[in-house]
Structure 1
């Protein structure tokens, strides 16, 4: 009987150690996800409203996101995304006609915490910061294209935005909607500091690979 109890104890201990190791491996799991999607971008002022003569610019976004699981329901993601942002004007802009678009394109590096809302990890909430590097800044319409620098407008080389998003995953396919609101003014002139901020609503589709 004593040998039976000892054998049972050793078996239970071994199972406990194996379960703990499996749980630790799950927590330490790394994934990589290529993703692409659509931006609905605009400029907002301090009151949060878009300018009367402006409408959103629809743009493209694509890149890669890495994730490290920190705990059973928590992860940390780091992304590298190309993002077309800016705003379209519904009327002429100064001496330029034809509903021009301010094109502000960025290489963004979102660093987001991820909280899984369910045990099966299908639904997730993401929040954090997104630094960005401006790689294109111009005013463009069907009849012309001119850089902001040539117009006497200085584009801020860096951006920083707050991010909040939701995601749904099924069989490694992920759908996400994320909102980004910048708090750095994206451009200015020698005489005027515009009160604009970048604002982007982003819809993306991705496929997750386990590493």
Structure 2
């Protein structure tokens, strides 16, 4: 009985440790959804944050079991809220499609943790103040940001896992086309849950 249990435990341990090893060329696709909170940085004067839903999918291409290149398509609601008087709230609702280009470092003894960082170009899809359209002459259609995040993958099977993921975004370029030298950038965080599919 002891030999059987020992053999079974050895087999499970070997299987789990092997499941973590990634070779060059392995691809993982992760559709995900989460909650975000963004605000605008107007020359170090920060707005209140607005909440939104972040969703999309990322793809990791592995170079070895520690490093991968991550990219994808992410929909983000950015912008911020301004208090104007006691009864009026002014909210910028800026919807972007973001294409992260990140190095992704997988760490821990079983490589379940990951730390990703890199550039995040974003393309404006829609811009409103409350329910009124913001004219394209007032806002840039493109922004470049820096993002980083940390995640933990729960392996369900050898080819499927669940990712818990926290991301931070900081805009590097001015989104305002104003001629009075106003510098406005988007800043925010998101917490996401995704399904990891090992191809």
Change (3 A) 1:105 1:198: same
Q: CA deviation at 1:178?
A: 0.9
Q: CA deviation at 1:202?
A: 1.3
Q: Does 1:99 align with 2:89?
A: yes
Tell me how far apart the structure 1 counterparts of residues 90 and 52 of structure 2 sit (CA, whole Å): 15
Change (3 A) 1:25 1:127: closer
Q: Provide the residue aligned with 2:143 in structure 1.
A: 159
Root mean square deviation of aligned Cα: 2.1
TM-score (norm: length of structure 1): 0.77
Q: Which consecutive aligned stretches of 4+ in structure 1 deviate over 4 angstroms post-superposition?
A: none
Q: CA deviation at 1:159?
A: 0.8
Q: Provide the residue aligned with 1:14 in structure 2.
A: none
Q: CA deviation at 1:121?
A: 1.4
**Contact kept in structure 1, 2:31 and 2:196, CA below 8 Å:** yes
Q: Provide the residue aligned with 1:146 in structure 2.
A: 132
User: For 1:15-164, what aligned pairs fall within 5 Å after superposition?
Assistant: 26-47=23-44, 49-50=45-46, 54-92=47-85, 98-140=88-130, 145-149=131-135, 154-164=138-148
* Contiguous gaps of at least 5 residues in structure 1: 1-22
Tell me how far apart the structure 2 counterparts of residues 45 and 74 of structure 1 sit (CA, whole Å): 36
* Contiguous gaps of at least 5 residues in structure 2: 1-19, 156-160
Residue aligned with 1:188, SS:
coil
Q: Does 1:175 align with 2:164?
A: yes
Q: Provide the residue aligned with 2:186 in structure 1.
A: 198
**Contact kept in structure 2, 1:68 and 1:76, CA below 8 Å:** yes
Q: CA deviation at 1:46?
A: 4.4
**Contact kept in structure 1, 2:21 and 2:65, CA below 8 Å:** no
Q: CA deviation at 1:45?
A: 3.8
Identify, as 1 or 2, the structure richer in strand: 2
Question: Which one has a bigger Cα radius of gyration?
Answer: 1
**Contact kept in structure 2, 1:159 and 1:182, CA below 8 Å:** yes
Tell me how far apart the structure 1 counterparts of residues 103 and 177 of structure 2 sit (CA, whole Å): 32
